[in-house]
Amino acid sequence: MSRALPRLAAAGLIAVTGSVATLTTTGIGTATAGPCSVMFGNFGSLLENHTGAGMAGGSLGSLGSGSSGSLGSASRAMGSADRSGSLVQQLETGSLGNGLSGSLNSAIGSIYGMPPWITGEEGTVPVLRGPTQFLQLVTGPTSPTESISRYGVAGTDLGIMWDNGHATDPEILMAFGDTMGDCTVPGSQWRSNVLFRSGDTDLGDGVGIDSAATGPDGLAKSIVPRSGLPGEVTIIPTAGISVKGVQYLRFMSVAHWGQPGSWTTNYSGVAYSTDNGENWTVVPALARPITSAVPAGDGAPPVDAAWRDSQMSSYLRTGEHLYEYLTPSGRQGSAILARVPLAGSPSAEDLDGSGGAAPTAGILDPAAYRYWDGTDWVGDPSNAEPVLPRPASELSVMWNDYLGKYTAMYSQGYNSVVLRTADRPEGPWTEATTLVDYSMLPGVYGAFMHPWAQGEDLYYLVTTWNAYNVFLVRTRLSEVFPSTLRRTATPAGPATSEVIRHVPVSELVGGAVPTE
């Protein structure tokens, strides 16, 4: 890292890994919902699917040590459509425990299939041997970035990265998804999304965080807050890019979390910032709505089923165009490709002087986007042909100097993290090379490449559902792509990394993951 950061004292971190479950025992036979209980609102539907599909007709277990603490049998009624009186409803409103007389812990009445950070247990990280290694915990307990004490970020995911484009003060901007805070303090510190900044140029010893977009309380704030309307559980960033000093963020309005890897959206939206990501303005005209449940804003186009394949994005900027790789909600779809000319795009000064009415020009002109149909660029997204086969989601695409190729990294079903290369943005793309196999770490997702990683070492961020935090990972490209094949970027074969052991997050020193 380019500068030293003080380490987070081990004594202060955990209250988070133990309490993010929001259920704390207050006495024999009682349980209460802690201040982070609002976080359950985003995972109630996940629990619904687990209880409906995995535990139908089964027993959840006794939630109490006394006669009044028994919840009894859990069935599909827990996840009923009206959600009335169901355990899911209590999770969504943060009231689980308030009306129960009984204790909930990892041994008695544990929630089947839930990750450790929900059940109150601790997440782990794998120690790998081979071309790919986990290097550092970037957010959460033990992280050297001190994300908890500095910004109130104890648990989060994604970490989409892009260069802010500043010639004199270059930084990498990082956008994260649903974010939990310090569960030991009063009030709710849950946010739909947050943004960090990093000027760190030496990633070999980890990535440092220099600042964050913050609110009046000094904590990292939601840069694009959710509406609060029924039918929208959160706003999740999916892509970011800088054009003429303006930061652009693609995000999705999530309507419902389904079974793992499945979710539905209301629309894909765009916001811009002229102050390096501190404040954001939504551009309704660039929304891609597929439901009418939550309005995308005045001036947004009407609901159109043609946008169903365009709910998540990844940006790639070339000399003349901004390319946008598009996938549907969830992790089961293929990727199509759009592009728009950069010419005419407004500068930060143009937008600051527009009085809030963003000019319809360049990348802000929805009519200027064209879609790859396999042979040409066309105006109708319904005619777009896949450039990457299903399953492909949470894409990260950039040019790589070391390989001399465009590189696409993404979650590919149970292969988890794969890499493909191509000579042109539209492909054809090589076969996928697996970098992090599902067997190494079940639940790893959302791999996003660091734009400044242009050498032999490819650095990227991944999230583990196990720990619900973000890790810096490194893959040595020379070990994946031998020099004789590098210019053609033909995969050498499956990645040879293997798991040595799993280490609890609390045992990491300064967030560093052991090498052996």
pLDDT single digits (tens) 245-294: 999 999 999 999 888 789 999 999 999 999 999 999 999 999 999 999 99
Residues 167 and 112 in one domain: no
Could you tell me if residue 3 is inside a domain?
Answer: no
pTM listed for this prediction: 0.82
Kindly state whether residues 237 and 372 are assigned to the same domain. yes
Q: Are residues 271 and 394 in the same domain?
A: yes
Asked whether the beta carbons of 234 and 226 are under 8 A apart, the reply is: yes
> For residue 284, how many other CB atoms are within 10 A of its CB?
17
pLDDT band of 357, cuts 50, 70, 90: confident
Domain that includes residue 109, residue range: 11-119
Residue 516, in any domain of the structure: no
Most confident of 176-185, 358-367, 375-384: 375-384
Q: Are residues 114 and 128 in the same domain?
A: no
515 domain-assigned? no
Angle at 206 between CA 460 and CA 214, to 5 degrees: 85
306 and 437 within one domain: yes
Is residue 387 a part of any domain in this protein?
Answer: yes
| Domain-terminating residue out of 83, 104, 119 | 119
Domain count, the chain: 2
Provide mean pLDDT across the span 212-227.
Answer: 96
What CA–CA distance (Å, rounded) separates 226 from 289? 15
C-alpha 293/C-alpha 310 separation (Å) is: 18
Q: Does some domain include residue 514?
A: no
Query: What confidence score (pLDDT) does residue 120 get?
Result: 67
User: Is 71 in the same domain as 157?
Assistant: no
The pLDDT of residue 439 is: 76
In a domain, 6, yes or no: no
My answer on whether 110 and 180 are in the same domain is no
- In a domain, residue 430? The reply is yes
Confidence of residue 194 (pLDDT cuts 50, 70, 90): very high
Last residue of a domain, one of 119, 152, 172: 119
266 and 160, same domain (yes or no):
yes
CATH classification at residue 474: 2.115.10.20
Q: Which of 496, 497, 514, 516 is nearest to 505 (CA)?
A: 514
Same domain, 264 and 340: yes
Q: pLDDT by residue (tens digit) across 97-122? A: 333 333 333 332 333 456 676 666 78
Rg value, the chain, Cα: 23
Q: Does residue 480 fall inside a structural domain?
A: yes
Asked if residue 474 and residue 435 are part of one domain, the reply reads yes
Confidence at residue 483, expressed as pLDDT on a 0 to 100 scale: 65
User: What DSSP element (H or E) covers 270?
Assistant: strand 263-273
Does one domain contain both 372 and 408?
yes
Q: What is the 3-state secondary structure (H, E, C) of 78-108?
A: HHCCCCCCCHHHHHHHCCCCCCCCCCCCCCC
Residues 212 and 295 occupy one common structural domain? yes
